[in-house]
A and B are shown apart, each in its own frame.
Chain A
C-alpha cells in the first residue's frame, strides 16, 4: 500500500492560502488609503479654516473681535496631530505620511501666528506651548513629554500645544528652530511665554507657567471692548 504523492492538492491549497493573504493585504491597503485620504481632507479643512480666519481678520481690520475667535483655532488641529502620529507609527513613515506631516507643521505655524495675534488683540484667554521633539532617534523623554502635554491640553482647553518634529525637512520649521535656538541634543524642548525650557518638564512645572500665562493676559490692556468670550 504505497501512497501516491498528491502534489496537486499542495499546490491548490498554496494558491488558495496565498489568495487569502493577498486579500488581507488588499483590505489593509484599502483602509490605509482611506485613512490617508481622511487625513488629507482634515488638512484641507484646517487650511481653509486658517485662511478664512486670516482673511476675516484682515477684513475687519482688527476693529472687531466678534466672530473671529470661534472660527479660528481649529480644534481639529489636535485631532489631526494625534492621527498623524498614529499613522507614522502604524502605517509607517511613508512619503505620503511625511508629506502630510510637513503640511501639518506649516498649518500649525500659521495657526500659532494667527491665534497669538487674536489673543493679544482681542484678549482671548489662551496659552501657547511650542514643543520640539524628535523621531529620528530614540527619545524616551520625548514620549513622556508628549504624554504630559496631552494631559495638560485636556485639562486646559485654552492651552494650545504646537508640536514640531526636529527632523521635519521644511524651511518654516527650520526657521522656528533657529528663532528659539533649539538643538537636537537638548530634546525634548518646550517654549512657553517665549522662554525655552530644555529636557523633560513635569505636569506641575508646566502647569504653573500656564497659569502665569493666563494671568499675564488678564493684566494686558485689551484694545477693543468686544471680546469673544
Chain B
C-alpha cells in the first residue's frame, strides 16, 4: 500500500506541476494575449484555400459551408474545396446544391471513394494554388472574423501554421456543458504552449498553414486517424513555428452522448499515444524545447496518471463496499445506515486530501482562466463542476481503452464515430 500511495503522490505532483507550469506562463505573458473585438483591416489579403473533408455530414455540411462563405475576407481571395469522402448518405447531393444555390464562384467540389479523412484532405491539397491553406471539419462553423485574425499572425515570416480557438457550439446538455468548460481550458493551454513553442496539434477545425509546409514536408498521413496531431509533430520536428490565435473562434458541435464522446476521445488519445510513440525521438531532446520536455511527457503522464488514479479510486470504492457488506452481514441492513452525528475529528486530514484539494483548485483556476480568455470574465459556472465530475468518472475509461488498443495496436476509426462501417 505504501508503494501505491507513493505512486499516487508522484502522479499528483506531476499533474499539479503541469498546472503550475501553465499558470506561471500565463502570469508572465498575459499582456501578450491579444483578444480583439470587432472587425480589423489587413494590409494585404493573401489567397487562402479552405478544404472541407466530409463523410456522412448531411446534417451540418450546409451550415459549415455557409459560415465559410460568410467569412469577412475578400471573396476573390478565399477558395473553398469541399471533398466528399464517399459518403453513404446524401452529402454529395447537398454539396452540389450548395454550389448551384450560392452562386459563389470560388467553390470547388470533389467526390472520391472513401479512403479516410487524410486522403480527402490530400486530394484538396493537390489542387491548392494559394499560398495559404486550411481545413475545416464539416461539423464545425467559423466566426466571421476568424480568418482575418488568424492571418495577422502570418506577418511573422517564421510562423508556418496558426491554430484557432475551438469552442463548443450551443451546448444543450450537461455533457456538452462539461465539454464547453474543457474547450475553454483548451484555449488557455494552447495559447501558453504557443508562447513556448510547444503546440503538438493543429486541430482539424480551421488551422491555417502556409502551403510551403506541405510542399516541404509532404501531405497528410494516416497517422492513426489523428492526422492533425501528426502534421504538427512533423512541423515541430522540422522547427516550423506553430502559433495560436485565441480570438479566432471556431464553433464545433460537441458529442451529445457519452457513447459518441467516448469514441471521439478514444480516437484522440489513441492517436496521441501512437503519434507520441512514432515521434518518441523528439522526447527530451533539447533542440525540440517545450514539446520535448513538456507537451509530450505531460500528455503521456496524464494518460498514466488517469489510469493509476482510477485504479486507486476503484480499489477504495471496492474496499468501502466490502466494508458495508461485512456490516450488513453482521447486524442486518436496518442497523447499517443509522449514521452517528458529525464530528470534525473524523474528517480525513491525510496529506493526500490536501494535495487533492490543491490539484482540483489548480484545475479550477485553469478553467477560469480559459473562460476569461474566451468570454472576457472569469466567472464560475456549473459547466466547470460538470467537467470535473464527469471527466473524473468517465475519462479513465477511454484512456484505459486507448492505452489497451495502443498496446495491441488496434486502429480506432474516424468514420466509426458516425456509426458506419468504413468500406475499404
How many residue pairs link A and B with beta carbons under 8 A? The number is: 97
Residues in B311-363 with C-beta less than 8 Å from chain A:
323, 326-327, 329-332, 335, 338, 345-346, 348-351, 353-355, 357-358
The secondary-structure label for the interface of chain A is helix
CB distance from B187 to the nearest CB of A (A): 21
B16 neighbours in A (Cβ, 8 Å): 17, 20-21
B335 neighbours in A (Cβ, 8 Å): 151, 203
- Please name the residue on chain B nearest to A15 by beta carbon: B20
A43 to B342, CA, bound (A): 20
A13-B17, A28-B353 are known contacts. Are A6 and B326 too (CB-CB below 8 A)? Answer: no
A16-B20, A21-B13, A24-B358 are known contacts. Are A143 and B350 too (CB-CB below 8 A)? Answer: no
Chain A 150-168 interface 0/1 with B at a Cβ cutoff of 8 Å (1 = within): 0100100000000000000
Contact of B20 among A1, A17, A140 (CB under 8 A): A17
B87 CB–A CB distance under 8 Å? no
A40 CB–B CB distance under 8 Å? no
CB distance from B55 to the nearest CB of A (A): 35
Q: Is the CB of B329 within 8 A of A144?
A: yes
Q: Is the CB of B287 within 8 A of A2?
A: yes
B9 neighbours in A (Cβ, 8 Å): 21
Q: Is the CB of B20 within 8 A of A13?
A: yes
Query: Number of B residues contacting the other chain (C-beta, 8 Å)?
Result: 42
Residues in A161-199 with C-beta less than 8 Å from chain B:
none
B24 CB–A CB distance under 8 Å? yes
B350 neighbours in A (Cβ, 8 Å): 28, 90
B404 CB–A CB distance under 8 Å? no
A16 neighbours in B (Cβ, 8 Å): 20, 24
Q: Is the CB of B345 within 8 A of A86?
A: yes
Taking Cβ atoms with an 8 Å cutoff, the residues of B that contact A are 9, 13, 16-17, 20-21, 24-25, 158, 196-197, 239-241, 286-291, 293-294, 323, 326-327, 329-332, 335, 338, 345-346, 348-351, 353-355, 357-358
Taking Cβ atoms with an 8 Å cutoff, the residues of A that contact B are 1-6, 9-10, 12-14, 16-17, 20-21, 23-25, 27-28, 31-32, 35, 38, 83, 86, 90, 140, 143-145, 147-148, 151, 154, 202-203
Q: Can you report 5 residue pairs joining A to B where beta carbons are below 8 Å apart?
A: A1-B197, A10-B21, A17-B13, A86-B345, A148-B330
